[in-house]
Amino acid sequence: MIDAILFALNIVLPNLVLMGLGFFMRKKGQISKAFIDQASKLVFNYALPCLLFFSVIESQVNFREQLNLLGAGFAVTLLLYFGAELYAKLFIARPEDKGVFVQGVFRSNMAIIGLATVANAYGAEGLSIGAVYMGVITLVFNILAVITLSRTAISPDADQKQIARRESYAMMLTKKLFTNPLILSLIAAFGFKLLASTLALPALPNVITQTGTLLSALSLPLALICAGATIDVRSMLTLSGLSMQASIGRILIAPIVAVVVGLAFGLTGVHMGVLFLMVASPTAAASYVMAKAMGGNDVLAANILAFTTVVSLFGMAIGAAALRALGWM
């Protein structure tokens, strides 16, 4: 049991420390909102795609073996999505709240918290498996988010201008999805790996791999510092009944569903660990951006995001310790 607890602490504490550093620096005025915005763009557009690309091409993982994990991830996502949709239909009255609630439940922060935790737990092997998982499930996340926000955000008395604006945003988001740097980097990595195996391509020049290694090493620490710096304690503590319900869905229900589905799919070891950690991550930061742009309740989205960003890390530690003790992770 002590080994399981130490394992859980080792995978969660580094993330908490880096997020705490970001929060402390923002409070002391040592980093500004402009820096956070610029650093986040650096991570998203360059450092994180670089990390994903090199983690895939340098891995020895057989990606055909990941199909079972991807099937489990797809099943978990759909179960959470349709479960949240049913709950919203039965218990949530305001249209602008429904899509935000649903997205807060099913959409997790895989690119930053999920990948960082998987890397802490399993190193390079886990990172490459997590990168593949993230690339596929991100597509599913974005499609479902557009569906729920487009449908539930439009009230019966919405004018044509409002509807047109939301439809235009949905089209723009679809375009961005297929120009997403993270997805493009994974496609490039799979293409390179396929060509390298079939055409016996030479290894990449040392200057490229060294540059890639340096840029990759920047991504997760900087992303976690920025995530910590954006935490709003007031929003986190100003929880309405609805934001608490969505947070319970993300922090408690989602990890339980992941474990049940993982066992049903026969996952063990690294694969079960990747599924659990990716699903148990807090609500994705993109959920707030999408809610605001598509006419949803952005205050509700901010409250869910802030609360789950901090509290879910403790849930991940407890869950990881339990799964490790049972020999499932």
pLDDT band at 87 (very low <50, low <70, confident <90, very high): very high
pLDDT in tens, 109-135: 998 899 999 999 999 889 889 988 988
Least confidently predicted of 218-222, 238-242, 245-249: 238-242
The predicted structure's pLDDT at residue 60:
73
Residue type, 52: L
Tell me the C-alpha distance between 134 and 131, whole Å.
5
Cβ neighbours around 234 below 10 Å, total: 9
Residues in the chain: 329
Distance (Å, whole) CA 24 – CA 31:
9
Q: Which domain CATH number covers 89?
A: 1.20.1530.20
Which range among 44-58, 106-120, 227-241, 246-260 has the greatest average pLDDT? 246-260
Q: Is the pLDDT of residue 321 over 80?
A: yes
50-59, 104-113, 276-285: segment of lowest average pLDDT: 50-59
pLDDT at 230 over 80: yes
pLDDT the model gives residue 160 = 57
Question: What's the domain range around 139?
Answer: 2-326
High-pLDDT (> 90) share of the chain, %: 50
Per-residue model confidence (pLDDT) at position 174:
66
The residue to which tokens 């504490």 are assigned: 13
The mean per-residue pLDDT over the stretch 71-86 comes to: 97
Look at residues 19, 57, 37 and name the one whose alpha carbon lies nearest to residue 212.
57
Count of other CB atoms within 10 angstroms of residue 295: 22
**pLDDT-based confidence at residue 177 (cuts at 50, 70, 90):** low
pLDDT tens digits, one per residue of 15-70: 999 999 999 999 999 999 899 989 988 998 899 999 989 888 887 766 677 899 99
Whole-model pTM? Answer: 0.85
Least confident of 22-36, 174-188, 191-205, 251-265: 174-188
Closest CA to 76 of 308, 268, 256: 256
Number of domains in the chain: 1
Residue-wise pLDDT for 124-175, tens only, equals 889 889 988 988 898 889 888 888 887 655 544 555 555 565 556 556 666 6
